[in-house]
């Protein structure tokens, strides 16, 4: 059975696991004829003065008008880490950053203001947070959410996010407005990855 990686890779054992994960992704891309590149040791790169990444590793798949990115970094000064994989699509503009995730009963205990769309199907299935407390109807509609829910039946956790003027060490993302379907884990299972690419691409490409 194939595995996923979660969290930061800090010990020698997990470094070996990370190398195996990158090798697996490279093999997948080669087998599918997907153009890709990796950067498994990016050092001394900074978006903020006096902040350094001791470890920043990513794999980028180029999928026509989308990018599938596997990313993992650790900032020792701030004791922060970031791990995700996601399908990203560039947008001409982004006036409002949103996050849409599958709804759970615990969401009712959140102190953040949860928006409602007025559509009972959407409001029963997902939790919506918005920077401007507004909803973009081009993104948030029942068709998009039905596609999203179908994918989450196989792959969890997943969220739909919009990003305004992204700041990223990944050049394909940096400075762009984006919509993304993201997981906090690296998806390494072959069948799950195939489904994520196929169905995730359909979802993002249905949003104009």
Quote the CA–CA distance of 78 and 59 in Å, as a whole number. Answer: 24
Written as six digits, the tokens of 198 are 């196929």
Phi, psi of 186 (to 5 degrees): -80, 125
Coil, strand, or helix at residue 115? strand
Which tens digits make up the pLDDT trace of 161-196? 999 999 998 999 999 999 999 999 999 999 999 999
**Residues 97/135, Cβ–Cβ less than 8 Å:** no
Indicate the range of 37-41, 96-100, 192-196 predicted with least confidence.
37-41
Q: Check: pTM over 0.85? Answer yes or no.
A: no
Of all residues in the chain, what percent carry a pLDDT higher than 70? Answer: 76
Supply the pLDDT for residue 7. Answer: 45
Summarize the confidence of residues 190-203 as an average pLDDT. 97
């Amino acid at each position: 059975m194939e595995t996923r990686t979660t969290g930061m890779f800090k010990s020698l054992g997990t470094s070996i696991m990370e190398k195996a994960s990158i090798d697996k992704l490279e093999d997948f891309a080669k087998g599918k004829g997907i153009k890709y590149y990796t950067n498994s040791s990016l050092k001394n790169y900074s978006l903020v003065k006096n902040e350094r990444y001791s470890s920043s590793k990513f794999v980028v798949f180029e999928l026509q008008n989308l990018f599938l990115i596997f990313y993992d970094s650790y900032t020792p000064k701030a004791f922060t880490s970031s791990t995700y994989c996601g399908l990203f699509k560039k947008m001409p503009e982004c006036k409002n950053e949103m996050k849409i995730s599958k709804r759970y009963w615990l969401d009712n205990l959140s102190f953040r203001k949860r928006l409602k769309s007025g559509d009972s199907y959407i409001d029963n299935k997902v939790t919506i947070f918005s920077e401007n407390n507004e909803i973009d109807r081009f993104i948030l509609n029942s068709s998009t959410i039905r596609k999203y829910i179908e994918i989450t039946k196989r792959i969890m956790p997943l969220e739909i996010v919009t990003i305004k003027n992204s700041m990223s060490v990944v050049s394909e993302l940096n400075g762009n407005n984006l919509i993304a379907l993201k997981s906090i884990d690296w998806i390494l299972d072959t069948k799950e990855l195939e489904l994520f690419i196929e169905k995730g691409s359909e979802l993002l490409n249905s949003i104009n």
